[in-house]
Chains A and B, each alone.
Chain A
Amino acid sequence: MELNSMDKQALLTAVESKLKAQFGEGFISSKLNVDFPEFTVKRDLICEVVKFLYDDEELAFQYLTTMATIHYPDNQGHEFALMYQLHNLPNNLRIRIKIFFSNSDVNVPSITSVFSAANWMERQEFDFFGIIFRGHPNLKRILNMDEMNYHPMRKEYALEDGTREDKDDQMFGR
């Protein structure tokens, strides 16, 4: 069956069955998030999953749109989420892959062997969140200065100085 870019549900089912058949336990869950089919897989398998989706003849997700880390400090045991957005250009199919892991072990397999574009994207995530990408050829800071000793996008670094007392925000939202 030809996959249609408008039928997100069919795409979701197709990718899910393929991932389940290939990785079994490695596949965790899936859902349709607004207009993106979203799949959660085991962290250690991410490179294999991306490679599998790249090589699969029908799916052929051969374009890495973007990558972003999300920090959930209150989510015990799964403090970090990393999302990858993949695109199949000929058929215009887009999916999102997510992995969750704890902040006590921030090692993630690098996908630079599949996508050259992942090089700087992973460096950016390392720079801002301190995610260690195993197998990355040149994992060092990219936008911040090299001397910086923390990862500023983590939620514990509030943007405004927490010691200020002249600004009281408790009346309005957070």
Chain B
Amino acid sequence: MSKEKNINTNKEVVEKEYSTLNLGPTHPATHGIFQNVLKMDGEIIMDSESTVGYIHRAFEKLAERRPYYQITPITDRLNYCSSPINNMGWHMTVEKLLGIEIPKRVQYMRIIIMELARISDHVICNSVIGVDTGAMTGFLYIFQMRERIYDIYEELCGARLTTNIGRIGGLERDFSSKAWDLLEKFLIDFPPALKEFENLLMRNRIFMDRTIGCGGISAERALNYSFSGPNLRAAGVDYDVRVMNPYCSYEEFDFIIPVGTNGDTYDRFMVRQQEMWESVKIIHQAIAKIKKEPAGIFHADVPEFYLPPKEEVYNNMEALIYHFKIVMGETEIPKGEVYHAVEGGNGEVGYYLISDGGRTPYRLHMRRPCFIYYQAYAEMIRGGMLSDAILTMSSMNVIAGELDA
């Protein structure tokens, strides 16, 4: 060691200093408004603190002033990559409170919508993992397929992103023949596109080296952090709400729950990838089942909760009365306390609803999977490189809308 070392200081030993790096709130690589204050040792992350709440919109408070059917648009804006799942979860929660039985055909139609939403959610997440590893091509190709799903939404409900799809008691309209055509074409075109996307990344040496072992979490820690959805399954726990607490007749469907082993970025990618194949399988089964059901039914027969068609409102006394009562919030809502959960794109999306018999919920609490698992982020990136932190975040599919509610 030469004596010239440490020429700027008189001390024998140089004190170690860490640098602080602000990752976000607005940074192209965070895909949303999150801030992470990182304590860095060169390029190694020693510690980090997450700041969330940049797009907090007080959904739980808003819900206390809105009639039940007006809360659906709020749920759109939770995980906006798969808003139909949130919508359906909310409808089912209210139906559970009201004790409404939904016809089988409507349940299968809902399953088709929810599985399309799952595909569009996972498509975004997985293609963005590709982008963050430097592979832009897959993202651009597979986004055409997401567009096709949005075309189907548009045909079903008129909206593309924040769908507000379905109503309490069923769906607002039957699938049109154009919607069936679009769905059929999508089911033909999607598998080859997904296969192509897989070929680009799945066994790609560069991609594998980049993602295996990056941002891993053990099953024990994941459970302690209440992970759910693909992130938990990547760690090797086969918890899926669709199978454990089936809703919408999921128990009649034949599909597998893919699980990983290491809980790292590659496993999360693979679990989502496999889930898309399973979703395609489920949609095929649902279409076959719908064909066996009597046609034309798209809602339950609950006139006191389900808005009548407009032409009947103008020509029929009873329909007019129900229309008035529903819109003015004069319908009898039973008192009660229910919890209902669905398997969202990111895991268990739960609604804990307390009704005191009034026109609005007394209290609505939303279990938002992102909010719960994102707190493990600091632990997952500690000791890793900065570039791995970016990849970990995108592979966890942290959606700002769901995180901040």
Contact = CB atoms under 8 A, between A and B. Distances in A.
Contacts of B1: none
A65 B366 CA distance: 11
B61 A152 contact: yes
A85 B348 CA distance: 13
Contacts of A33: 337
Nearest to B64: A159
A12 interface: no
A89 interface: yes
Interface in B306-348: 328-330, 336-339, 341, 348
A21 interface: no
Given A63-B226, A70-B363, A117-B226, A92 B245 contact: yes
A68 B52 CA distance: 19
B375 A68 contact: no
A89 B56 contact: no
Interface stretch (B125-133, B189-197, B217-225, B254-262): B217-225
Contacts of A70: 354, 362-363
Secondary structure at chain A's binding surface: helix, strand, loop or mixed?
A: loop
Interface residues of A, number: 37
Contacts of B224: 115-117
Nearest to B243: A92
B325 to A, nearest CB: 10
Contacts of B237: 89
A33 B372 CA distance: 25
Interface residues of B, number: 44
Interface in A22-80: 33-36, 62-66, 68, 70-71
A103 to B, nearest CB: 16
A173 B375 contact: no
B359 A173 contact: yes
A144 B337 contact: no
B61 A65 contact: no
B328 A172 contact: yes
B354 A159 contact: no
A173 B332 CA distance: 11
Contact of A153 (B60, B329, B348): B60
Interface of A: 33-36, 62-66, 68, 70-71, 83, 85, 89, 92, 96, 115-117, 119-121, 124, 128, 141-145, 152-153, 159-160, 172-174
6 contacts: A34-B336, A63-B226, A92-B244, A116-B375, A172-B329, A173-B329
Nearest 8 pairs between A and B by C-beta? A117-B226, A143-B53, A68-B365, A66-B367, A143-B56, A159-B65, A120-B375, A173-B359
Given A119-B375, A153-B61, 9 more contacts: A33-B337, A35-B338, A63-B223, A66-B352, A92-B244, A117-B372, A143-B404, A152-B61, A159-B62
